[in-house]
Amino acid sequence: MGTARRGHLSRITKGLCHSPCLSVCLSVCLFACVCVCVCVCVSVCLSVCLSVFQVQLQESQRLLQGRIRTGERELEEFQQSLESLKVSASAVLEDSEAVFADMAVRLEKTKAEVRARLEAKERAVVGRAEKDVEMLEKDLEELRRRDQEISELLQTEDNTHFLQAAPLMCVPLTAGRRSRALSLPTEAFSAARRALCHLRGRMEEVCREEVDKISRAVNENYVSGGECVKGEKAVPASFPLSSLSLQPADQRMRAAFLRFSCRLSLDPDTAHPTLVLLEGPQGAHCGEEPQSYPPHPQRFDSVAQVLCREGQFGGASYWEVEWRGGGWVDIGVTYRGIGRKGGGKPCLLGRNENSWRLRCTNAGYAAWHDNRKTTVAAPPCPRIGVFLERQKGALSFYGVSDTVVLLHTFRCPFSQPLYPAFRLDLDSTLLICPHEGGNGNVP
């Protein structure tokens, strides 16, 4: 009979609950409380399990509700921040439109002023020239008339008339006429044209510099999770060459430069003895021990400098250089005739009128030409891009890392081929980055 009752109880409870708690309770009832009413046993077991699960579910619900409240609060705050960001961005866009509209108005006003002055100058020059033309035409008319009178007098048969008129015809007509030679001020507008070209160059340079400042100010990349990471990250100064992770806009800018990429190699015949040439030679390291280079008239004998073999004769050229070390590296260009003997200004890159350089240090940059220094405020970058437009008279240096940032632009009417040149401090190293399929010296 006990066995039958236990089997009946198992059939009753099967399917009611498969939880470990209810199974334990029913097992106890089956084997320890055989004589107890089945309904009472099941009721007690269900009550115990319901109580346990109710407590667990209430705790889970409390935790979930807390997470929901936190998430809703964070979402609300984020949405408020997003709306604030939209308002701020919209305001900046409106301000930029207003600024550029004002600049356009000012440019139009300046354009009108320049045009008025040029037109006034044109009227003055042309008016004066037209008066000279009128005077010349009158002189010619009178000369032709005198010529006709002389011809008629020579053909007359009246000797008395001839003798009376001849003395008058022999008097020159030039006396009292134009006292100066005719001339036009051919240089009157050449100076204005040069001034306009200079103005355009200065405006382009200022616009590039100011746009780069604006780009650096707003160049923050949004990262999921609410972080903002500054766009300007210094590439680790390590050889082999560092890898670049450029933003799309900077990728396009660098790709445009690389179209003009040119192959460069250092000229061993110009290298100072303390420079150890590396990789082909594509690089150099400045050490203390002099190398046993053979004597050569083109070699720098007192300054740790070296030129490239390849001169830039025209068109546009681009190359990149990486550098490292605790000191500094000068990256620049020079005419072939830079001094080689001695350590004076005629031999130093950037300290004379024949050369231009950017000094790179871990503290910043300085641009030099003709012994004039321009400090460049920008974070240090181990890769420098050089873009030369010789025919346009522009030499630009760029910091190339996760962004492409204009550091400085020289503007000069280059009159000779330019040779890339470098100067190294003790224990500094540089490496010309490999040519990346461009077509340097593109006109």
Q: What is the DSSP string of 101-149?
A: HHHHHHHHHHHHHHHHHHHHHHHHHHHHHHHHHHHHHHHHHHHHHHHHH
The token pair that represents 380 in the structure block: 């240090």
Q: Is residue 95 one of the residues assigned to a domain? A: no
Q: How far is CA 71 from the centre of its chain?
A: 42
User: Which pLDDT value is given to residue 3?
Assistant: 55
- The domain of 341 spans 250-432
pLDDT for 258-271, tens place per residue?
Answer: 999 999 999 999 99
User: Which pLDDT value is given to residue 90?
Assistant: 62
Q: Is residue 85 one of the residues assigned to a domain? A: no
Q: Is residue 179 one of the residues assigned to a domain? A: no
The token pair that represents 415 in the structure block: 């009159």
Which element (helix H / strand E) includes 407?
A: strand 404-411
How confident is residue 230, by pLDDT bands cut at 50, 70 and 90?
Answer: very low
Report the pLDDT averaged over residues 151-176.
78
User: Which pLDDT value is given to residue 221?
Assistant: 46
User: Which pLDDT value is given to residue 431?
Assistant: 95
Interatomic CA distance for residues 246 and 168, integer angstroms: 92
How confident is residue 232, by pLDDT bands cut at 50, 70 and 90?
Answer: very low
Q: Is residue 322 one of the residues assigned to a domain? A: yes
Report the pLDDT averaged over residues 220-245.
44
User: Which pLDDT value is given to residue 168?
Assistant: 79
User: Which pLDDT value is given to residue 192?
Assistant: 80
Interatomic CA distance for residues 395 and 389, integer angstroms: 6
Q: How far is CA 371 from the centre of its chain?
A: 25
Q: Is residue 221 one of the residues assigned to a domain? A: no
> What's the whole-model pTM score?
0.47
Q: How many residues does the chain have?
A: 443
User: Which pLDDT value is given to residue 231?
Assistant: 41
Interatomic CA distance for residues 193 and 197, integer angstroms: 6
φ, ψ (nearest 5 deg) of residue 93: -60, -45
The token pair that represents 7 in the structure block: 């089997």
CATH number for 394: 2.60.120.920
Tell me the pLDDT of the chain averaged across its residues: 80
| pLDDT of residue 237 exceeding 50 | no
User: Which pLDDT value is given to residue 268?
Assistant: 96
Q: Is residue 54 one of the residues assigned to a domain? A: no
| Number of separate domains in the chain | 1
Q: Is residue 256 one of the residues assigned to a domain? A: yes
pLDDT for 171-192, tens place per residue?
Answer: 776 644 454 566 677 666 777 8
User: Which pLDDT value is given to residue 355?
Assistant: 97
User: Which pLDDT value is given to residue 37?
Assistant: 53
Q: Is residue 108 one of the residues assigned to a domain? A: no
pLDDT for 43-73, tens place per residue?
Answer: 777 788 788 888 888 988 999 899 899 888 8
| pLDDT of residue 199 exceeding 80 | yes
Report the pLDDT averaged over residues 142-163.
85
Greater model confidence, 8 or 82: 82
User: Which pLDDT value is given to residue 215?
Assistant: 73
Spatial CB neighbours of 182, under 8 Å, sequence gap ≥ 6? 132, 136
User: Which pLDDT value is given to residue 86?
Assistant: 66
